[in-house]
Amino acid sequence: MQTGARLTIDLGALAANYTDLARRAAPAQCAAVVKANAYGTGLEQAAPALAGAGCKTFFVATPGEAVRLRRLLPSAMIYVLDGLLPGAAKDYAAHDLRPVLGNRQEIGEWSKFCAATGSPPKAALHIDTGMNRLGLEEGQVRELAARPGLLAPVRVSLVMSHLACADDPGDHKNADQLAAFNTLCALLPTAPASLANSAGIFLGNAYHFDLVRPGIALYGGEAVSGAPNPMRPVVSIEAQIAQIRDVKPGESIGYGAAYRCKAPSRIATLPVGYADGILRRAGEAGAHVCISGHPAPFVGRVSMDLITIDVTGIPEALAHRGAWVELVGKHNSVDDLARHAGTIGYEILTSLGNRYARVYVSGTS
Ligand SMILES: *Cc1c(COP(=O)(O)O)cnc(C)c1O
C-alpha cells in the first residue's frame, strides 16, 4: 500500500561508516551497537550489512533483541548490555548470548549456572567508572580480586565500562573514567577491554583498548557535539504534500490555535507527525523542511499524524499536492531536526516508528 512518507536507509553508507570507524580504531577491533532496532534503521537489514562490512561482535540492550539478532547472524558474538535478567541464564545459553554482568547477584547467578553447565557462553564484566547506572562498583571489583573463586567458573571474554561525557572532549570526566578503568581492569582476570562508544573513538588511542562499541556514528549521527560530523548520512525522510490551502491573515493553524498567520499564506500539510518521530517540540522552534532546495518552516503544532508548513513564495510547480519534500536529507541532518526539537539525533532515530515506507538502498559512491 502506498504511503505519503518515506524513510530511505542507505546500507552502503552504513557499511562505509563501519569501515571508517574500524580504521580509526585499529588495531582495536570494532563492534557494532544495534540496540533499539539498530537505532531505528531496521535490525534485519542493518545487522547483515554490518556483518558484510566485517563486523563480528554486536551489542544489543535486551535479550529479545539478541534473539532476533541471533536468527540473522548465527555465528556473531552477541553481548546483552542490560545484563543477566533473573533466572534467564538458561535462555541466554540456548541462543549463545553473552551477558554483560554488572553486579554481584548477576555474577553469582551466572557463575553458578556455568559451574553446572558443560559449555556456557562467555560473558563480559561491566565496571562502573562514573555512570552509576549499571556495572560493578570499585568495592565489588576489589572483592572479586580478593576472592577469585567467585569468578572461577565464568569465561570472561570482555571487561568493559561506559563513558558519560565523551561527546564533550573537553570534559575532565573522560580522563577520570579512563584512569579508573585502567586501575580496575588491572585487578580483574586478564581479558580484552572496551571503553569507547562512538564519541570515545574520537577521544584518541588511549580510549580504544581492544574493542570499540560505536552506535550513533554508524548510523550517520553526530557523536561529538559541536564538531563537524565526519560520518556519511544513513537516514533520509521525505513526505508527500497531502493538501495545500490559502490562509488569510489572522487565521490560526492546528491544535491550540498556536500559530496565527500574519499575512496571506499558503500552507501545506504533510502526512507525518510525532508518531513518526517528528517530535512535537520541533514545531515550536523553527524547524523547516526543504522543497527542491527551498526551505519551508513548520507552522502550528506538530500533531500525531500531520505537520503543516508554510510554502508561501515557493513556486507552485514545486509545492503542490503530491510533491515530495525533504524532512531529513541533504539539506537537513537528523541532528538539525533534533536540535530544533530540543533533543539529540539518537532520540529522533529511535522514534521513527513503523508507518513509513522503508526503502533500503546500497549507496551511490
Ligand atoms: C548505547 C551504547 C553504546 C553506543 O553508544 P553511541 O553513543 O551510540 O556510540 C556503547 N556502549 C554502551 C554500554 C551503550 O549502552
Q: pLDDT tens, 117-126?
A: 988 999 999 9
Q: Ligand 1 centroid vs 257 CA: distance in angstroms?
A: 40
> Could you tell me the residue ranges of all domains in the chain?
11-219, 235-361
Q: Mean pLDDT across the stretch 218-227?
A: 95
- Average pLDDT rounded to a whole number, residues 315-343: 95
Of 2, 5, 1, give the one whose Cα is nearest residue 353: 5
Equal CATH topology for 11-219 and 235-361: no
pLDDT band at 365 (very low <50, low <70, confident <90, very high): very low
- Residues 152, 87, 164, 24: what is their CA dihedral angle, to the nearest 10 degrees? 70
The whole-number pLDDT of residue 39 equals 98
Stretch 166-184: mean pLDDT:
97
Q: At a CB cut-off of 8 Å and minimum separation 6, what does 38 contact?
A: 45, 46, 47, 219
- Set of cell numbers at residue 20: 571508517
Residues 328-337 have a mean pLDDT of 94
Which residue in 283, 234, 292 sits closest to 259, CA to CA? 283
3-state secondary structure of 219: coil
Active-site residue, selected from the candidate residues 18, 35, 79, 207: 35
Angle, alpha carbons 135-157-88 (nearest 5°) = 60
* CATH 3.20.20.10 assigned to 11-219: yes
> How many Cβ atoms are within 10 Å of 64's Cβ, its own excluded?
10
Paired residues of 307 in beta bridges: 270
How many C-beta atoms surround the C-beta of residue 175 within 10 A?
12
C-alpha distance from residue 6 to each of 3, 201, 267, 309 (Å): 7, 32, 21, 18
Question: What's the whole-number average pLDDT of the chain?
Answer: 96
The pLDDT of residue 106 is 97
In the set 56, 122, 255, 360, the catalytic residue is: 255
Average pLDDT over residues 127-154: 95
| % of the chain at pLDDT higher than 70 | 99
Nearest CA to ligand 1 atom 3: 197
pLDDT at site 364: 54
**Helix, strand or coil, per DSSP, at residue 313:** coil
Rounded to whole angstroms, the Cα distance separating 234 from 343 reads 19
255 is catalytic: yes
Rounded to an integer, the average pLDDT of 121-136 is 96
Beta bridge partners of 303: none
Mean pLDDT of all residues in 245-269: 96
Cβ neighbours of residue 246 closer than 8 Å, sequence gap 6 or more? 264, 265, 266, 267
**pLDDT, position 200:** 98
Report how far ligand 1's centroid is from the alpha carbon of 199 (Å): 9
Overall fold of domain 235-361 = Lyase, Ornithine Decarboxylase; Chain A, domain 1 (2.40.37)
Distance from Cα 213 to the centre of ligand 1, integer Å: 6
Catalytic residue at 259? no
> Does the pLDDT of residue 363 top 80, yes or no?
no
Cell representation of residue 207: 580510549
Burial environment of residue 141 by CB neighbours within 10 A (0 to 12, 13 to 18, 19 or more): buried
**Which mutation among 30, 59, 344 tests ligand 1's pocket best, with the greatest number of atoms within 8 A of CB?**
59
List of E strands, 38-152: 57-60, 77-80, 98-101, 123-126
Check: CB of residue 84 under 8 Å from CB of residue 110. Answer: yes
Closest-CA residue to 198 (of 231, 175, 239, 176): 231
